[in-house]
Structure 1
Amino acid sequence: MDIITADLCDEYRDQVEIAEPIFSIYGEKKAFYGPISTVKVYEDNVLVKKALQTIPEGSVLVVDGGGSTRCALLGDNLAKIAVKRKLAGVIVYGCIRDSAEINQLNIGVRAIATHPLKSIKEGKGVENIPVQFAGINFEPGAYLYADEDGILVSDERLNK
């Protein structure tokens, strides 16, 4: 099913939250949707990798990286895990790296910037909690819809 966030806004205006337009688009998949899984980390991507390896197929991993632009939380190796596991996409409130490689993968990725430095590996952070950034709340189990026009979140699936 094609996702068009403008059409979803027209039809479900009172049921969606719209993220502030702070993200750049990466990956071959320009539009994607799925149930949200979350991790909250800061300059440490151990839990990002764990989530990519364990969340259900078709999910969208939402990474609250605190908006840090001092290192990357996702690179091509982690993006390949998402592709292999058939995840819908990844939203990173932080940076990614290996963007040229990620742009050739069948995955949808949104991030605020790119950065060549990899993150630390201490395993600090929290999984499966509500996270807030870009002016909205991302609840585990809610649905996220993304395309070239933006990112929407709804408590329930809209495109049945």
Structure 2
Amino acid sequence: MIFKTSDLCDQFAESKRLQIAEPLLRSFGGHTAFSGRITTLKVFEDPVKIREILGEKSEGGVLVVDGGGSHRCALLGADLAKLACDHGWEGIIVYGCIRDSVEIGRLPLGVRALHTHPLRSHKRGTGERDILITFAGVNFRTGHYLYADEDGIVVADDPLV
């Protein structure tokens, strides 16, 4: 799928179908452009639910994780990113930190996060899936569509391309 977020903004920004994320997240994955149907997850310093979801087969989905913006540890590392690739995920958005950024940068996966952090997170198994999560000025909902490239991230209720 070929798209440019700037073109999507030009075409759809006047409608109420498009949300544009504030430029808070850095690109870490091997793919700088990616898109797909959103699955949401809210966790705090706990990757167990992330692993569960990324272990499910996906047909080009994007996992959006609200990690509370924590800078105290990483929610995603190379092992989870590889798991995502193996199961057909197109991308992962983390409102928090990742680690193993060099390895993740070699994978055919789009990854956006706030920063890197070398410490892994705690494993408690807590979190909420498929709920409304909000960060970067966007309301992310399971079933909506995300488009990301070098210029930014946009979210729409329905497929745009």
TM-score between the two structures when normalised by the length of structure 1? 0.97
Question: 2:65 touches 2:95 (CA, 8 Å); kept in 1?
Answer: yes
Q: Which runs of 5+ in 1 are unaligned?
A: none
Instruction: Give per-residue Cα distances to partners, 1:113-155, cap 9 Å, x unaligned.
Output: 0000000000011111110000110010000000010000000
Matches within 5 A, 1:31-46: 31-46=33-48
Question: 1:26 touches 1:108 (CA, 8 Å); kept in 2?
Answer: yes
Q: Which runs of 5+ in 2 are unaligned?
A: none
Aligned equivalent of 2:27, options 25, 28, 33: 25
Matched with 2:123 is 121
Aligned equivalent of 2:149, options 138, 147, 151: 147
Matched with 2:53 is 51
Question: 1:3 touches 1:33 (CA, 8 Å); kept in 2?
Answer: no
Instruction: Give the RMSD, CA atoms, in angstroms.
Output: 0.8
Matched with 2:69 is 67
> Aligned partner of 1:2: which letter?
I
Deviation at 1:55, TM superposition (A): 5.4
Measure, in 1, the Cα distance between the counterparts of 2:3 and 2:24: 20
Runs of 4+ in 1 over 4 A off after TM superposition: none
What SS is found at the alignment partner of 1:102? helix
Measure, in 2, the Cα distance between the counterparts of 1:10 and 1:72: 35
Matched with 1:90 is 92
What SS is found at the alignment partner of 1:37? strand
Measure, in 2, the Cα distance between the counterparts of 1:143 and 1:19: 13
> Aligned partner of 2:6: which letter?
A
Question: 1:89 touches 1:108 (CA, 8 Å); kept in 2?
Answer: yes
Deviation at 1:54, TM superposition (A): 1.7
Measure, in 2, the Cα distance between the counterparts of 1:6 and 1:100: 28
> Aligned partner of 2:28: which letter?
Y
What SS is found at the alignment partner of 2:55? helix
Give the paired residue count. 159
What SS is found at the alignment partner of 1:100? helix
